[in-house]
C-alpha cells in the first residue's frame, strides 16, 4: 500500500507545483503600455522554483526592457517609480510601477516612390491610406507596418527588386516630435514570361483557353491567383500547381509553369431524399468530364418522384472561353401529376450560354411536345418551337455555410410557335428574385418575389406547362404543390395568364447552428389583373432551421390564411436560401 501512496503523493505535489505561476503586477496609466511591458519582460517566462540569485540577473534587465517597450509606443520619457522583486514561500512576485510621461507625436510623414511604380495607380491608392499620419502618436509598429505594406504591394505588382533607398524615423525627444522620411525605389517591373501547361487530358491549344493573361503583360500576383481559379472552376483537375518565379536576365520576366492532374473521367452519384412538394425521391447522375480532348462533356440525370419523374441528357461543348461560353444540346422527358393537372413533356434544346459581366445570358431554341389534361378537361397536345432569351445573376456572402447577404435574379422571355396549326402561339415572361439581408443579433431577412405574364390568342389551347400555377415549398407555403390558380365553372384549378407571388421571412439563430423563422407568403395565378386583390391567397407560419454539414435544413409549419386555421402543411427542404 505504501508503495502506491508515495508515488501518488509525489504526483500530486508535482501537479500542484506546476499549477503555481509567478505574480507580475504592472501599474501604469496607459493600458497598452502595460500590456507591451508585460510582453517584453524576459523574467515573465521564469518558473516559480528559480532562486533569488537567479532572479536578480533577470531583474537587472527590467529597466532596459521597460524602456524598449515604452519607446516602441512613443513613450520616450517613461520612468520606473517602483520595482520590487520578492521571493514568497511558493513562488516569486514582481511589482512594477511605471510613469509613462509625455508621448511623442508624428509631425510629418514623407513617402516618395521612385522607379516604374511611380506611375502605378495601385501605389497612389496605398499612399492615401497609410497606417501612420501626421498628428498620430508615434508607434514603431505602425511605422514598420507602413514599410511592410509598400514591400508587399511591390511583390504583388511584380517589382521584385524594390528596396528602400531611404528609411528614416527621426525623433526629437526634447520636443516630443517625430518625422518619417521614406524613399521607396521600386526598380523595374517584371512581366509575364513564357507560360507552360503540363497536363494530359486536353489538346494543348484548348488548355491554353483557360489562360487569360498573355506573355508580356505586367506581372501581378492577382493574375496568377485568377489563373489558378480558372483551372479550379473548370472542374477537370484534382491538383493544380502554379510556379511563378522571377528570373535574372536582360528582360525582367516571370515564367509561369502550370502543372495539372486530372480528376477521374467518369463520376457516378446516387441519392435519395424527400421533398414535401413531390414526396420521396431517388436520383442517379452520371458525368463524363472529358468526352474528348476538346473538353466536351456528357451528363445524364435521372430523378424519380411519384409526382414529378424526369430524365435529362446533356452534351456540352465549351467555346472560345470555356468558363464563359458554351453550347449545350439536351434532350429530356418530364411528367407532372399534381392535383391541378397531369402533363407529359418531351424536349429537344440547343442552348448558347455567355457570361456578360456578372450576368449569365442564355439564348436557346427549344422544341417541346406536351400532352396534358387540366382538371377534368380534355387532353391537349402541342408541338411548339420556342426561342428563349434569359438572364440570371447570383451573388452571395457566405460565412460558415450561412448566407449573410446576397441576391438571386432570373429573367426569362419565351416565345411559342405552334407547329400543329391550332393557333396556340404565345409570348411568356417570367421573373424571379430572392434576397437575403443580415440584421444585428444573428438575425436575417429573406425576401422572395415572382411575377409572370402570358400573351396568347388561344389560352384554352395551351398545355399545362405553359400556364401559371403556384403553391408549395418555394411558392406559397400552406398549400399543396401547384394547387393554386384561376378556377373553372366546376371549381377546378386551370392555371392562369398572370402570376404574382411575394414572401417575407424573418430568421433568428437561437443556439449554435439552430434557429427559428417566421414567414408570410402571398399571391396567386390570375387570368385577369383586376382580380389581383380579390383572388390573392396567403400562407404563414413558423419554421425550424438547422445549419447541417450538408446545408441549411428548413422545416416549416404553415397554415393557409384564407382557410380554416385547422388546416396546415409541413414543408421540408435542404439547401441554401439563394
Give the HSE-up count for residue 120: Cα atoms under 13 Å, Cβ half-sphere.
Answer: 25
298 within 8 A of 289, measured Cβ to Cβ: no
Global pTM reads: 0.80
Percentage above 70 pLDDT, the chain: 96
Three cell numbers written together for 38: 508585460
Give the pLDDT band (50/70/90) at residue 11: very low
Cβ atoms < 10 Å from Cβ of 282: 13
| 269, pLDDT greater than 70 | yes
Tens digits of residue pLDDT in 87-129: 877 898 889 999 999 999 999 999 999 999 988 999 888 888 8
Q: What is the pLDDT of residue 1?
A: 44
Three cell numbers written together for 292: 474528348
Give the pLDDT band (50/70/90) at residue 294: very high
Tens digits of residue pLDDT in 21-33: 888 899 988 999 9
Architecture in CATH for domain 21-99: Roll (3.10)
Three cell numbers written together for 236: 477537370
Q: Let me know how long the chain is.
A: 578
Q: Which one-letter DSSP state was computed for residue 295? A: -
Give the pLDDT band (50/70/90) at residue 563: low
Q: CA 468 → CA 235, 414, 507, 527, 559, distances in Å?
A: 36, 14, 29, 9, 22
Tens digits of residue pLDDT in 225-263: 999 999 999 999 999 999 999 987 788 899 999 999 999
How many Å apart are CA 454 and CA 435, to the nearest integer? Answer: 25
- CATH fit for domain 105-185, picks 3.10.20.310, 3.90.380.10, 3.40.630.30, 3.30.460.10: 3.10.20.310
| Residues of each domain in the chain carrying CATH 2.40.160.50 | 266-574
Q: Which one-letter DSSP state was computed for residue 173? A: T
Phi and psi of 324, rounded to 5°?
-120, -20
Instruction: List the Cα angle 444/447/451 in 5-degree steps.
Output: 170
CATH number for the segment(s) 191-262: 3.10.20.310
CATH number for the segment(s) 266-574: 2.40.160.50
139 within 8 A of 146, measured Cβ to Cβ: no
575 within 8 A of 551, measured Cβ to Cβ: yes
Q: What is the pLDDT of residue 13?
A: 44
Phi and psi of 403, rounded to 5°?
-75, 115
Tens digits of residue pLDDT in 196-228: 999 999 999 999 999 999 999 999 999 999 999
Helical packing angle, 52-72 and 31-40, nearest 10°: 130
Give the HSE-up count for residue 341: Cα atoms under 13 Å, Cβ half-sphere.
Answer: 32
457 within 8 A of 423, measured Cβ to Cβ: yes
Three cell numbers written together for 480: 399543396
Three cell numbers written together for 433: 428574385
| Residues of each domain in the chain carrying CATH 3.10.20.310 | 21-99, 105-185, 191-262
How many Å apart are CA 103 and CA 59, to the nearest integer? Answer: 26
Q: Average pLDDT over the chain, rounded to whole? A: 90
Secondary structure of 446-509 in HEC code, one letter for each residue? EEEEEEEEEECCCHHHCCHHHCECECCCCCCCCCCCCCECCECCCCCECCECEEEEEEEEEEEE
Instruction: List the Cα angle 136/137/138 in 5-degree steps.
Output: 110
How many Å apart are CA 10 and CA 564, to the nearest integer? Answer: 75
- Residue 21, classed as helix, strand or coil, is coil
Amino acid at each position: 500500500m505504501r508503495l502506491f501512496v508515495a508515488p501518488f503523493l509525489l504526483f500530486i505535489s508535482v501537479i500542484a507545483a506546476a499549477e503555481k505561476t509567478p505574480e507580475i503586477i504592472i501599474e501604469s496609466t496607459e493600458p497598452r503600455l502595460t500590456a507591451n511591458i508585460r510582453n517584453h519582460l524576459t523574467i515573465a517566462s521564469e518558473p516559480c522554483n528559480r532562486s533569488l540569485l537567479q532572479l536578480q540577473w533577470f531583474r537587472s534587465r527590467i529597466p532596459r526592457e521597460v524602456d524598449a517597450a515604452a519607446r516602441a509606443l512613443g513613450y520616450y520619457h517613461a520612468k520606473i517609480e517602483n520595482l520590487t522583486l520578492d521571493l514568497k514561500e511558493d513562488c516569486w512576485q514582481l511589482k512594477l510601477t511605471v510613469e509613462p510621461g509625455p508621448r511623442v507625436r508624428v509631425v510629418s510623414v514623407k513617402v516618395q516612390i521612385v522607379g516604374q511604380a511611380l506611375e502605378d495607380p495601385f501605389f497612389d491608392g496605398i499612399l492615401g491610406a497609410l497606417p501612420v499620419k501626421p498628428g498620430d502618436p508615434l508607434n514603431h509598429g505602425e511605422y514598420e507596418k507602413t514599410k511592410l505594406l509598400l514591400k508587399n504591394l511591390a511583390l504583388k505588382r511584380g517589382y521584385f527588386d524594390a528596396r528602400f533607398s531611404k528609411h528614416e524615423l527621426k525623433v526629437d525627444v526634447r520636443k516630443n516630435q517625430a518625422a518619417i522620411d521614406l524613399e521607396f525605389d521600386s526598380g523595374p517591373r517584371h512581366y509575364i514570361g513564357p507560360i507552360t501547361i503540363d497536363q494530359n487530358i486536353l489538346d494543348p491549344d484548348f488548355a491554353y483557353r483557360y489562360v487569360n493573361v498573355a506573355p508580356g503583360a505586367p506581372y501581378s500576383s492577382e493574375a496568377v491567383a485568377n489563373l489558378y481559379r480558372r483551372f479550379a472552376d473548370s472542374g477537370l483537375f484534382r491538383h493544380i500547381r502554379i510556379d511563378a518565379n522571377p528570373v535574372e536576365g536582360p528582360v525582367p520576366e516571370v515564367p509561369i509553369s502550370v502543372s495539372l492532374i486530372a480528376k477521374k473521367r467518369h463520376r457516378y452519384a446516387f441519392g435519395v431524399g424527400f421533398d414535401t412538394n413531390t414526396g420521396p425521391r431517388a436520383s442517379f447522375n452520371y458525368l463524363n468530364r472529358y468526352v474528348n480532348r476538346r473538353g466536351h462533356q456528357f451528363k445524364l440525370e435521372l430523378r424519380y418522384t411519384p409526382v414529378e419523374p424526369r430524365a435529362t441528357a446533356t452534351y456540352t461543348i465549351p467555346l472560345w472561353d470555356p468558363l464563359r461560353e458554351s453550347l449545350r444540346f439536351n434532350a429530356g422527358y418530364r411528367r407532372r401529376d399534381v392535383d391541378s393537372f397531369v402533363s407529359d413533356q418531351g424536349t429537344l434544346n440547343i442552348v448558347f450560354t455567355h457570361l456578360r459581366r456578372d450576368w449569365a445570358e442564355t439564348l436557346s431554341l427549344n422544341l417541346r411536345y406536351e400532352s396534358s389534361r387540366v382538371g377534368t378537361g380534355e387532353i391537349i397536345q402541342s408541338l411548339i418551337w420556342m426561342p428563349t432569351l434569359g438572364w440570371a445573376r447570383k451573388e452571395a456572402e457566405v460565412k460558415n455555410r450561412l448566407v449573410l447577404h446576397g441576391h438571386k435574379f432570373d429573367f426569362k422571355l419565351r416565345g411559342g410557335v405552334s407547329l400543329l396549326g391550332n393557333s396556340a402561339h404565345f409570348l411568356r415572361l417570367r421573373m424571379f428574385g430572392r434576397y437575403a439581408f443580415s440584421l444585428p443579433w444573428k438575425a436575417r431577412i429573406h425576401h422572395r418575389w415572382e411575377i409572370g405574364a402570358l400573351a396568347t390568342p388561344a389560352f384554352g389551347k395551351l398545355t399545362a406547362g405553359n400556364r401559371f400555377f403556384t403553391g408549395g415549398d418555394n411558392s406559397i407555403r400552406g398549400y399543396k404543390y401547384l394547387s393554386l390558380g384561376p378556377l373553372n365553372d366546376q371549381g377546378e384549378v386551370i392555371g392562369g395568364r398572370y402570376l404574382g407571388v411575394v414572401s417575407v421571412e424573418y430568421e433568428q439563430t437561437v443556439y449554435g447552428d439552430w434557429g427559428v423563422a417566421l414567414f408570410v407568403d402571398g399571391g396567386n395565378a390570375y387570368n385577369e389583373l383586376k382580380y389581383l386583390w380579390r383572388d390573392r391567397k396567403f400562407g404563414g407560419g413558423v419554421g425550424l432551421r438547422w445549419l447541417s454539414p450538408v446545408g441549411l435544413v428548413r422545416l416549416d409549419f404553415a397554415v393557409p390564411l384564407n382557410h380554416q386555421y385547422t388546416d396546415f402543411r409541413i414543408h421540408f427542404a435542404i439547401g441554401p436560401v439563394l
